[in-house]
Amino acid sequence: MQPLTPRARRDPAPSRVAYRLHRLWLTPLFRALLRVGLPAFALTFAAGIYLSDTGRRAEISQTLASVQKTLEERPAFMVREVVIEGATDLSQAQVAALLPIDLPRSSFDLDLGALRAAIGAVDAVAGADLRIVSGGILSVRITERRPAVLLRSAAGLEILDAGGHPVGPASRRADYPDLPLVAGNGAGGQVAAAQMLWAAAAPIAGRLRGLVWIGERRWDLVLDRDQRIRLPQRDPVTALERVIALDQARDVLARDVVAIDMRNPQRPTIRMTAGATAAMHETRLLEQKTRLLEQRAAGQ
């Protein structure tokens, strides 16, 4: 038998412990645990211990806040001036009221999206374009709504754009002589039709007072001397053109007429004043008498 105490020479074989450790190290789960899990745990643990003190946490948040503040208040990020472009006096004051006044201010504090939404909510503004340009300038480029019609309602005069969106109040009709004046319930939604009628009524523009939307379905043209042209629901422009043609041929509107009713296009009707009617009856009687006298004279 070999001696039980081995000779003292290097044994190439790993010891049982070394062998087992090596096998353990080759176990994927153990390896992952040791290489990822252990450092992650140590890190979390250390961070947890460090942060468990309230004073330290406050200190850290304070430091962070101050760092953030210094960064934000660097001169490169400050907004010192506001430039509004494309605004007329109609909207200038309203837009200016919405913009921040406590300048200079850090551009990080400005919420351009919210500002843009707020400016866009102003009636007279169709769209706004905000940007911070170099030199610390907040540039506001405004696209205004274009006035299309004046709407007279119980609340007063109001300017509408082509889409029927209110632009702003108007104090006097005379300030906007070239805008059509419309009235009536729901007239605000009919701006395009009103504009077409206004254009078609150009020959009688001198006499035209405004347009009235009747019963939310058709238009009346109101002229001076309280004359009205009642237009049909369908094809009002053609009917208006017929009236204008009639006027140009027979001068109808200059006569003693209260209303020209075109509501039934096949049967245009004219309503006259009481005096005119009486005068017409008298003329007819006179004509009849004259005819009788002539017949009698011929019979004799």
In the complex, the residues that contact other proteins under the rule CB under 8 A are 2, 11-14, 16, 19-20, 22-23, 26-28
* Closest distance of CB 36 from other proteins, Å: 17
- By beta-carbon proximity to other proteins, the closer residue of 34 and 43 is 34
- By beta-carbon proximity to other proteins, the closer residue of 4 and 101 is 4
What Rg do the C-alpha atoms of the chain give, in angstroms? 44
* Closest distance of CB 26 from other proteins, Å: 4
- By beta-carbon proximity to other proteins, the closer residue of 12 and 206 is 12
* Closest distance of CB 17 from other proteins, Å: 11
- By beta-carbon proximity to other proteins, the closer residue of 17 and 49 is 17
Cβ atoms of 173 and 182 closer than 8 Å: no
- By beta-carbon proximity to other proteins, the closer residue of 2 and 54 is 2
* Closest distance of CB 37 from other proteins, Å: 18
* Closest distance of CB 32 from other proteins, Å: 13
Tokens of 82: 């506001």
